[in-house]
Each structure stands twice: as structure tokens, then as C-alpha cells.
Amino acid sequence: MAVKKLRPIRWNGGIVYLLEQRDLPFHEKWVKCDTVEKVAKAIEEMTVRGAPAIGITAAYGVALGAVRSKNKNASVFEKEVKKAISRLRRTRPTAVNLFWALDRMEECLKAVSVLPIAEQKRALEKEAIDIHLEDEALCNRLGEHGGRLLEKAKNVLTHCNTGALATGGDGTALAAITHAARKNKKLHVWVDETRPYLQGARLTAYEVAHAGIDFHLITDNMAASLMKQKKVDAIIVGADRIVANGDTANKIGTYALAVMAKAHGIPFYVSAPTTTLDLIKKNGDEIEIEQRNPKEVTHPQGIAIAKESYPVYNPAFDVTPGKLITAIILETGVCRSPYQKSLRQALATAKKESM
């Protein structure tokens, strides 16, 4: 099956083009960013979202600032690029990948500062492209490992958004689905809407439709009934944080799916890069859960479905115990229980590879 790739971040001749994610799935509008400020605004205003995608966009923002600079004086040029980096740093204060990418661009700048400006520009452009390509390669590895687990599945269920819109490649959990779909043209996906923020309905359905994979959109509370009817062969989700025993924090609703998968004997997979591993934490009790704005619940897409004055409980994440997870797919391979051992080994492998 020819699965169409989606690439929402594009670098072309010193300009960053971003697919306006706030207009999805209704309009495919490209935002042209030809200044650092436009890139910063696009990150702040969520034209682009998803941790890896934000990091890649910020790196391109630095490259853009360098490449388009008209300064001929080396120290003024350096100041200008540093100013671009600090502007981009102020866009999303809690985005780990953002700082990681900007630190890397800053290190690159430092490393090439003795070279002529033209070469510095080339180096910074190459560094940003590398960050993007590395993430694409990471997604491919996640997709290959995960895809093998889904090759025989007819119906796969996924939650939240883990595809091309959030990363530099095919995504994490969704990469497994797109990779499996290339070999298994009968693959069908159940995309749950993922309340409260509707990432499934707004973004994953768009990604799956764009890829040309057969799917149905469902509300979150329909999954159990499908499992009972034997219409779900596997579930695959992403992760925000995975601790030593495999306990996994991910978008609210993940734990419910894992409990139901267990009750129905359905494999439950998590796919994430090794950067998601936080092995200093022993178990999920140590993960703090962020409470989010009640209006996400009472006003989906800004439209009131309940009174704003109603008390609301709105946790961003829940924690799925490692013992409910059939396998954790990392770019280094597939980890299984006991996770204390397999995740430590995977992290050691990843560190060795990156040296």
C-alpha cells in the first residue's frame, strides 16, 4: 500500500513553511515564516505543536536568522543569532525539546564561530536540517519496530495525536500504524476523538486520512464495546513519560484503554523515543499530573457545552501501570517485562549509539 507521507514543517531557501495546525482538519493552509519573529509567533500561537515538531521548528528559526542575516561583522552576526535563540527560547516555557534543540544550535554556533560567516551560515543550516532528519530517522525506527507488531492486526485502535503533525517524521505510535499499513493494506484504524482537547478527532483522523489508511472516528467511550465485539486486535499509544517499572504517563484516557485491553485479552503497546524514559523515578506514583484549564472540558473548540461555573476535573495525563503494557517500543527495539531490566538496557544502547 502506498502510504502518503505528511510533512508539516518545510525548510526551503531560508524560509520555514508550516502547515497551520489550528485550521486542521478543515483547511490546509501553509504559513510562510521569513523572519525569526514569525517563527517564534508560530510556535507561541500553536501553528505548530507537539514536542519534537516544536524543537525542529525552533532550530530552523535559528538557521533562518543566520542565513538571512546581512551582517558582515562576525561579532555582530553572532549577537544576532544569539538574539534569535533567546527570542525562540521564550516561546513555550515548558517544552523540553525546544530547549534541547536551541542548546544544540547554540553549541553549533560556538563550535563554528572562528569560521567565515558564510560557512557559519551553512553549518547552522545543516545542524537544523540534521535535527529534522534525525527525528525523521527516529520515527522510522519506531515505525519499523512497532509496525512488525501490528502486521497481522486487522483493527488497531489509537489515542491522542502521535503522528507526523507532532514530529519530524511519521510519528511515534502512529508511525507503527503507517509502517504496518504499507505491508497490510487491509489495516483499519479506530481513531478515538481524545477528549477534552480532541487531538484524535482534529489531528489523528486528518493524518490517517492523509495517509490513505482505512479508519473510523469514534468517541472515547466506544472503545470497550468494540473490544467486546472482537473488533480491536491491538491498541497502540504514545507516551509523555515512562519510569523504571514501565509505568507510563500519557494523555488522559490511556489508562482506561489499558484496563479494557487487559479485560479483553488485547495487546496494548506504547511507542516513544528513549528521551521519554525517566528511569530515576521508580514507579508511576512519582509522576506529577498537571491539571489543565476547565474550559477544555466545558468549551470544546470554544463552544459551551456546560456552564463555565461548573466544577471540572481536568487532568492532562493518567498513569498506566507497566504490568498492563504488553510491550514498549523504543527506537532501540521492543522492550518487554520485566521493564526494570529491559528499559535500562535500551537506554544504555541509545546512549552508546549517540556517542
Q: Identify the active-site residue in 135, 170, 192, 240.
A: 240
Least distance in Å: CB of 338 to a second copy? 22
Catalytic residue at 240? Answer: yes
Options 315, 336, 345, 351; binder of a second copy; rule CB under 8 A: 315
Cα-based distances in Å from 257 to 172, 179, 221:
18, 22, 10
Q: Which is nearer to a second copy, 1 or 259 (CB)?
A: 259
Of positions 124, 205, 244, 266, contacts a second copy by CB under 8 A = 205
268 binds a second copy (CB under 8 A): no
Asked if residues 325 and 248 have their Cβ atoms less than 8 Å apart, the reply is yes
Rounded to a whole number of angstroms, the minimum distance from the CB of residue 280 to a second copy is 23
Place of cell 519510569: 243
Q: How far apart, in whole angstroms, are the C-alpha atoms of residue 315 and residue 312?
A: 10
Of 74, 222, 347, 350, the one binding a second copy (CB under 8 A) is 222
Does 313 help bind a second copy (rule: CB under 8 A)? yes
Binds a second copy (CB under 8 A): choice among 117, 209, 334, 347: 209
Binding marks (x or -) toward a second copy, 25..44, rule CB under 8 A?
A: xx------------------
184 near 155, Cβ under 8 Å? no
CA-closest candidate to residue 145, choices 326, 334, 272, 348 = 334
Residue 257 CB burial class (10 angstroms; 0-12, 13-18, ≥19): buried
* 285-304 binders of a second copy (CB under 8 A): 297-298, 300-301, 303-304
HSE at residue 191, side-chain half, CA atoms within 13 A, is 24
Tell me how far apart the alpha carbons of residues 171 and 181 are, in angstroms, rounded to a whole number: 14
d(CA 302, CA 322): 36
Q: Is 46 in the site for a second copy (CB under 8 A)?
A: no
Which residues, numbered 106-125, are part of the site for a second copy (CB under 8 A)? none
- 85 interacts with a second copy by CB under 8 A: no
Q: Which stretch binds a second copy (CB under 8 A): 3-11, 28-36, 83-91, 221-229?
A: 221-229
Interaction of residue 22 with a second copy, rule CB under 8 A: no
Count of residues interacting with a second copy (CB under 8 A): 51
User: Torsions phi, psi of 266, nearest 5?
Assistant: -105, 135
How far, in Å, are 31, 60, 131 from residue 13 at the CA level?
A: 15, 11, 17
Which residue lies nearer to a second copy by CB, 58 or 226? 226
Site for a second copy in 141-200 (CB under 8 A): 190, 193-196, 198
Assess 265 for contact with a second copy (CB under 8 A).
Answer: no
**CB 226, min distance to a second copy, A:** 8
49 binds a second copy (CB under 8 A): no
State the Cα–Cα distance between residues 347 and 321, nearest whole angstrom.
20
- Give one word for 231, left, alpha or beta, with left for phi > 0 and alpha for psi -120 to 50: alpha
DSSP per residue, 28-87: --EEEE-SHHHHHHHHHTTSS-SHHHHHHHHHHHHHHHHHT----SHHHHHHHHHHHHHH
Binding interface with a second copy (CB under 8 A): 25-26, 190, 193-196, 198, 201-202, 205-206, 209, 215-226, 228, 252-253, 255-256, 259-260, 262-263, 297-298, 300-301, 303-307, 310-315, 318-319
Positions annotated as catalytic residues are: 240
